[in-house]
Amino acid sequence: MNQINVYTGPMFSGKSNALLSAYERATIAKKKVKAFKPKLDTRFGKDVIKSRRFGEIEAICITSLKELKKYDADVYIIDEFQFLEGDIKIIQDLADEKGKVFYISGLDMTAEKKPFGLMPQLLAIADNIEKFVAICHDCAEENAIYSYYLGKKDTDIVVGNHEYIPLCRKCMQKRLKQDQAYEKNHKR
């Protein structure tokens, strides 16, 4: 059995659907399950992990991985992992020493194509990684690996839904070139 399972990829790729499916399987198997999400993520309401297509489950809001130690479960479900802080060793120790199982989803990259938060460290310790793709907003191919921010931002973290679109590599490059040309032409 894989102890640390990670679902990653861009926005709108089905990561939360996979989490909710894992939650359902664990509850059917009569496992003690606890679900968590970052306090920062308020898109679908407080204390809930919601999928655009699959439903929702109640979740405990946390900011740091150390808060996981307060809760005993067989299975830990964590959404939007990229927004959490702390020491990744906490998850590794819970899996290694206590046999806890994790199903975790998160964005692997920011809209600027940089590694996002603790995701690189999580991917390094994962037993199983599923990299999801979305349908590209611009070309409609099912090969989008990036989340593109519509507009200008001055920080990596801008929580939202309607401000982002999924893009494939080719369409992302095209949009970035357009952004650079716009910036160049509008500098004063």
Give the active site residues: 80
Three-class secondary structure of residue 169 per DSSP: helix
Distance spanning both ends of the chain, measured CA to CA: 58
**Residues across the chain:** 188
Helix (H, G, I), strand (E, B) or coil at 70: helix
Phi, psi of 35 (to 5 degrees): -110, 145
Taking CA atoms, 1 is separated from 29, 88, 97, 104, in Å, by: 14, 20, 15, 15
Q: What's the CA gap between 188 and 185, in Å, rounded?
A: 9
